[in-house]
Structure 1
Amino acid sequence: MDKRIRHAGLAAKVMTAAKAAERVDHGMTIGMSGFTGAGYPKAVPQALAARMVATHERGEPFRVRVLTGASTAPELDGALARADGIDLRLPYQSDPELRARINRGEMDYLDIHLSHVAQYAWFGFFGKIDLAVIEAAAIMPDGSLLASSSVGNNKTWLDLADKVIVEVNHWQPLELDGMHDIYYGTALPPHRKPIPLLRPDDRIGERYLRLDPAKVIAVVETNAPDRNSAFAPLDDCSRQIAGHLIEFFRHEIAKGRLLPQLLPLQSGVGNIANAVLAGLRDGGFSGLSAFTEVIQDGMLELLEDDVLSVASATSFSLSPAGIERFLGKIDFFRQRIILRTQEISNHPELVRRLGCIAMNGMVETDLYGNINSTHVAGTSIINGIGGSGDFARNGFLSCFLTPSTAKHGAVSCIVPMVSHVDHTEHDVSVIVTEQGLADLRGLSPRQRAKVVIERCAHPSYRPLLQDHFDRAMHHSRGKHTPHLLQEALSWHQRFLDSGDMRP
């Protein structure tokens, strides 16, 4: 019996991915592991996609509903999308083929807050969960699972699914053992109790995912890496955005509104986020903590440099260099990284109580601080809201970061009115571009518009925004939030018509 499959009964259920895929039926609702390209099943989805294609060629339907933790990878989302095998997908995605099919109306997509997924499943809002397909690093002697590089919603899928397929991935290091914290204390209303987590480094759960061996219909062995993409080198724009935010943190410390150790950090993924993390390191900060969703390259560096003492998350999102760094010092990182279920990592009450500083990207903001983080021109989904809303609504500070323009200046990321609203003005504290930082706290809508135009808009768009606002002030019947409704989305329409928001 392989050292990774330590339960005799489950070792007897080892089979090929193709054989396992034969146990999936048309119309099933499937909970799959995976969160931001980590810890997703690698083989069964591809075998299932091949079976779907063959079924479609016979003129028979074969589509399933796919629920995950967040985005996965081409081996899962891409393969099933190309096979026209997904009827419904939730809650977050980033695969180009999947996105294209969603935006062509060929499949349904439900974009919801990540903290809602597990509880909605328990409430029965998604119907019965027929099958869970979960990647694990190992199966323990009692049948429980050593989770791999993400936890996500795995606990919920294993608890609720009628049947389970386990992929045991030999690429995932066994040294992950001890990094996970799986909390089983949640309950349905009205029987909920307080979650006993007081600090980001608290451990409140178990090392392994519970699994009823009687549910398992197949075990598949794999040896395949997580999706990983190299981050682009930090550019001047990202560094400037990071510099404005770091300067703001210093200002808040001087005012006594933040401690020198700040508060637990939540950070989105990408160049700007890594630039902010690098700025914290270069700025002499220490004793920081993170209560976030994903561990990325920048956080590994902060942990190594002792700038960050602990990082609590539900998954990794590492470049190839980051994976090499992690594997090379995994014993060190195991003492400083905690991987939790996403119903804990994104829990609104914990975010509020811990006082997280939320730092997330956006597509655009309007003059009053409403944020669009998911759509192009109001209709085409990009990826999804993810967990940004969990932290924006409940964090101590809610910061949204973006370059002031896109498409080589043809698009302004500061617009008169956003074409889609993900985060309302009530949930936004700070907006940052490479031009500057607008602190919106305590400001009325008209005051917000003034600082957003002055401090965040690109110079080529600033006069246009000021002109729009001045005319809105003059012609608007209501001066609380001035709008020219007939022009509110004219910038977006102009871009669709001409390829440039500028007249």
Structure 2
Amino acid sequence: DPLKITLITGASLGHGTDGKLAEAGALSKRMPFQVDRILRHKINAGDVLFIDQHLSETAELLHNKNLPQVDIAVLEVAAIESDGSIVPTTSVGNSATFAALAKQVILEVNTAIPVTIKGIHDIYQAEDYPRRNVIPIVAPENKIGRKTIPLDASKVVGIVFTNELDSPADIAEPDTKTTAIAKHILQFFENEVALGHLSESLMPLQAGIGKVANAVLTGFIHSKFRNLTMFSEVLQDSTFDLIDAGKLDFASASSITVSEECYSRVFDHLDRYRDKIVLRPQNISNTPGLIKRLGIIAINTAIEFDIYGNVNSTHTSGTNIMNGIGGSGDFARNAYLSIFVTQAASKGDAISHIVPMVSHVDHTEHDVDILVTDYGLADLRGLAPRERAKVIIANCVHPDYKEQLLDYYNRACERGGHTPHLLEEAFSWHINLREKGTMKKDQ
């Protein structure tokens, strides 16, 4: 039989790695996140099993022995210290957990990463349950651990050398839709400051990956906000743009994923950023208790949301995975403000991203505070389901779908219920899309 492996990572791998493994038929199971087109196709075809998991949970499940022990850990490092500990590269992820728990370790020394990267990492591993101490972080800039990952040298069965830069992130320039979304969010923050709910430094920011989140962060450059901080998973181009603009004081995350241009800017002048960034293990960057303690403002992307505020961020038409939930659930469930963004319609407006009922639920209405599209913003705080529906339809929906959604909602209200629905019609928009190529019911 051909060799097949279960592959566990921190999050996604560089472009091509997942795809090559999937194409070769080498993967039987993958977790907890991916972004590769070929692997996505294999998952949706049922050829690879995929566990779509909150990123904070993977290390916990391994430490608690609720997953099989890792047989072999392949860890990318910038350097190996004299005491056997290792210097991570541009991602910490779950490397500290893998180093501690794996039966065997292979080290990949990537000479493309400057050894001067040492010092931007803060490696802290929480104690086992039930006697786990409070993680002593009260601000994004707090460093509480060591600069390297401890490793038992007897586990190391091989060392290989590579000289390969990270796969560059695909960063799209803001377009009219993403610019409009950013404008709505910034106006909302300005109003919160005017009301005395927030200061001009806001609360620590978290933003998911992708062009929408990147555009939102870029929008802060020309805003009145200052002395911003970030407590997130990934540092993107916009993070370093904000630092260079003097808007962002400090950014904490688990990895760096930037474009080729930004990569050169950062690593050719690493000392410029050394005191302004830190990379932590994923079970620290995404731990629910810290997210709640620090009062994070979480901004993540939705595939679709419904008239009551439930969000689908992972599956198209309820069945086909796109990437995964990543850390959006870790942050949405525990944030000071949980914001989800998407365009109101796409594919020539054949698809509405606001529907009667989401075809897959990742974030329930209970975890969602603010919804934003290019048409407007819906503040759902303190609203009952019927109130939410009216605000969402009024503020977020594309004009081609507004009357269609109102008709559905009004007829559902005639039938009654705390959260009115017409179950026989709830997914009719998705069915119409499958059969006719559009969610518009008159076509």
TM-score of the superposition, structure 2-length normalised?
0.98
Count the aligned residue pairs.
441
From 234, 253, 274, the equivalent of 2:193 is 253
Moved over 6 A (4+): none
Deviations 1:39-87 (A, max 9, x none): xxxxxxxxxxxxxxxxxxxxx2310110000010244211211111111
Say whether 1:173 aligns with 2:111.
Answer: no
1:499 aligned to 433, 437, 440, which one? 437
The answer for the alignment partner of 2:145 in structure 1 is 205
Deviations 1:435-475 (A, max 9, x none): 00000000000000000000000000000000000000012
Q: Is 1:83 paired with 2:24? A: yes
Q: Show the counterpart of 1:66.
A: 7
Query: Does residue 95 of structure 2 align to residue 157 of structure 1?
Result: no
- The reply to whether residue 410 of structure 1 matches residue 329 of structure 2 is no
Structure 1 residues 175 and 249: CA distance shift in structure 2, 3 A: same
Question: Do 2:200 and 2:224's aligned partners in 1 also have CA atoms closer than 8 Å?
Answer: no
The separation in 2 between residues aligned to 1:454 and 1:66, in whole angstroms, is: 45
Distance between the aligned counterparts of 2:31 and 2:91, measured in 1?
Answer: 17
Q: CA deviation at 1:425?
A: 0.1
CA contact (8 A) 1:230 1:321 kept: no
Write out aligned runs for 1:152-301 (5 A): 152-184=93-125, 186-301=126-241
Alpha-carbon contact 1:230-1:320 (below 8 Å) kept: no
Any idea what the Cα deviations from partners look like across 1:327-376, whole Å, max 9, x if unmatched?
23211111100000000000100000000000000100000000000001
Given candidates 467, 472, 475, the residue that maps to 2:412 is 472
Gaps of 5+ in 1: 1-59
**Counterpart amino acid of residue 491 in structure 1:** W
1:484 lines up with 2:422 in the alignment:
yes
In structure 2, give the amino acid aligned to 1:128. Q
Q: Relative to structure 1, is the Cα distance of residues 113 and 230 closer, same or farther in structure 2, using a 3 angstrom cutoff? A: closer
- Cα deviation, 1:86-134, whole Å, max 9, x if unaligned, reads 1110000011111111000112110010000100111112112111000
Is the counterpart of residue 131 in structure 1 residue 72 in structure 2? yes
- Match runs of 1:313-324 below 5 Å: 313-324=253-264
Cα distance, 1:284 vs. partner? 2.2
Alignment partners' CA distance in 2, 1:183 and 1:254:
38
Alignment check: 8 A CA contact 2:181 2:373 kept: yes
Identity of aligned residues (%): 47
Equivalent residue for 1:117? Answer: 58
TM, length-normalised to structure 1 = 0.87
Residue 432 in structure 1 maps to residue 351 in structure 2: no
Structure 2 SS opposite 1:180: coil
Partner of 1:104: 45
SS at match of 1:188: coil
CA distance in 2, matches of 1:230, 1:348: 29
After superposition, the CA RMSD in angstroms is 0.9
Aligned 1:350-429 pairs, distance under 5 A: 350-429=290-369
Q: Which moved more, 1:98-107 or 1:414-423?
A: 98-107
The whole-number CA distance in structure 1 between the counterparts of 2:99 and 2:190 is: 45
Report Cα offsets for 1:355-404 as digits up to 9, x if no partner: 00000001000000000000011110000000000000000000000110
Is the 1:367–1:414 contact (alpha carbons within 8 Å) kept by the matching residues of 2? yes
Deviations 1:206-240 (A, max 9, x none): 00011111100000000011111341221011110
